[in-house]
Amino acid sequence: MTVRMATCEELSNDRKAIDNLTRSYWTLEKSATPVALLLPWFPSSAKKAQEKSTIALYTLINDFVQLRRKSPVPSTDPIDILIGQGNSDETIVGVS
């Protein structure tokens, strides 16, 4: 329900994409270890996992933003509203 309210119908109906999104999100959450928070410059495994999951989340959502940009029929999905307002891909992914 959260994905549907924050992104688009295509993403919310794609079970594989939802599984990837969930996995990346929880990896990002688990990488917030005390070492990663206190020593952000230290190249720990948590820091590497955080970077990898952040890139995966960005890429996944950006792919759906690009899909919606190419769609000839706009909808009332949040991504389409942000596209209609002229926001950049980075802004849309950040909001989503």
Give the span between the Cα atoms of 73 and 52, in whole angstroms.
Answer: 33
Question: Could you give the angle at the alpha carbon of 72 between the alpha carbons of 67 and 75, nearest 5°?
Answer: 80
The model's confidence at residue 38, banded by pLDDT at 50, 70 and 90, is: confident
Amino acid at 52: K
Question: Could you give the angle at the alpha carbon of 32 between the alpha carbons of 31 and 37, nearest 5°?
Answer: 125
Neighbours of 22 (CB within 10 A): 11
Look at residue 62 and tell me whether its pLDDT is greater than 90.
Answer: yes
pTM equals 0.85
